[in-house]
Amino acid sequence: MTPTRALLDWVAAHRGEMLADLARYVEIETPSNDKDCLTDGLSWLASWVPERLGEPAAVEQFDGGEHGDIRVYDYPGAGGLPVLMLCHYDTVWDKGTLRDWPFDVDGDRATGPGIFDMKSGLVHAVWALRALSAAGLPRPPVRLLLNGDEEIGSPASRPVIEAAAADTRAALVFEASADGAIKTARKGVGIYRVTAHGIEAHAGLDPMKGASAVDELARAVLALHALTDLDAGTTVNVGVIHGGTRTNVTAGSAYGDIDVRVSSAAEAARVDAALAALRAHDPRATVTVDGGWNRPVMERTELTGRLFLLAKKLAAGIGVTLDECSVGGASDGNFVAALGVPVLDGFGAVGDGAHARHEHISVQGMVERTALAAAVLHALAP
């Protein structure tokens, strides 16, 4: 029997225990915007992780300020550089959601707030390490990072993630899969605000004395949307606009909030140049742009490709066809990939419904994904 098949059999035999862990975890609400809930969630994880894996060689906790704190575990291995395992514990679901949407299992389908994105993934990560220990199979040192602000862009945890990734050989991200596929590329995400300032005047009595900020914003929106290049993987969307005070007043100010997605650093540079070049049509008005790149592009590299082929081969050994894909959404894996570290993202749940009320996972997918993560870690042992 191959190590991969043995790992699958062991995980399958412990399916009930994994589900019990997942149930308890889902029943602890951890919305990104509730510091007290996040503190409670991380406190439970701080007890559960060493209970399942033993005491780490080192553990550090970093203050997240108004956001969730960050906890980093280092577990020793067979040698060589560590592998980074990224998991976030925050969800998009407000406190109280569990009252009318509790954890539930019906056959192969398990549901509950945050189960797909990405509480199941953290259970996979821990049980993959547990499976390797139980089987006595070697693996490289691992660095398990838990952060509580991923759903809002990782403002507090980004520097911790980048520091944790600096001396690693690879990273596995336990975000949910994309219909079972591993994500080997993700778009970079930019968040900007374009603001126009004009001159207020009575729109009927003194129309020529005014300079309309709304007019300037409208022109800017058209220019911004023209930057979209679907063939290059670039989208620019002004999703929120606000401006003016009254219908009979020439608007003195207006703004629009912009979401930018790009598939390459070259496209990011093109968009940056276009944003910097925005100017007001009326010389009496001004147009300015604030904001920046929330997450850099996660481009598929040769090293990432090799790592994926390894995972694909191991998946075939347990009867799973593993595909790869590129997605428009970003994750903390983007930060790591930008440092030149190969990243495989999507070792979490097989299911559907991220950020939606039909969020659910496949229980069999949980078993297979856990075994696959364990097999990849074993294959990376020196």
For residue range 347-367, list pLDDT tens digits in order. Answer: 999 999 999 999 999 999 999
pLDDT at 2: 85
State pLDDT tens for residues 268-313.
999 999 999 999 999 999 999 999 999 999 999 999 999 999 999 9
- Domains annotated on the chain, with CATH: 3-186+298-379 (3.40.630.10), 188-295 (3.30.70.360)
Residue 51 annotated to the active site: no
Contact in structure between 374 and 200 (CB atoms under 8 Å): no
Render pLDDT for 250-280 as a digit per residue (tens, 0 to 9): 999 999 999 999 999 999 999 999 999 999 9
Active-site residue, selected from the candidate residues 69, 117, 149, 150: 150
| Span 6-59, pLDDT tens digits | 999 999 999 999 999 999 999 999 999 999 999 999 999 999 999 999 999 999
In this model, does residue 82 exceed pLDDT 80? yes
Distance (Å, whole) CA 147 – CA 178: 22
Per-residue pLDDT, 49: 98
**Order of all β-strands in the sheet with 286-295:** 235-243, 253-262, 188-197, 286-295
Of 90, 117, 332, 368, which residue is the catalytic one? 90
pLDDT at residue 1 above 80?
Answer: no
pLDDT score for 103: 98
pLDDT, residue 282, reads 98
What are the tens digits of pLDDT across the range 98-128? 999 999 999 999 999 999 999 999 999 999 9
150 is catalytic: yes
* Model confidence pLDDT, tens digit, residues 161-198: 999 999 999 999 999 999 999 999 999 999 999 999 99
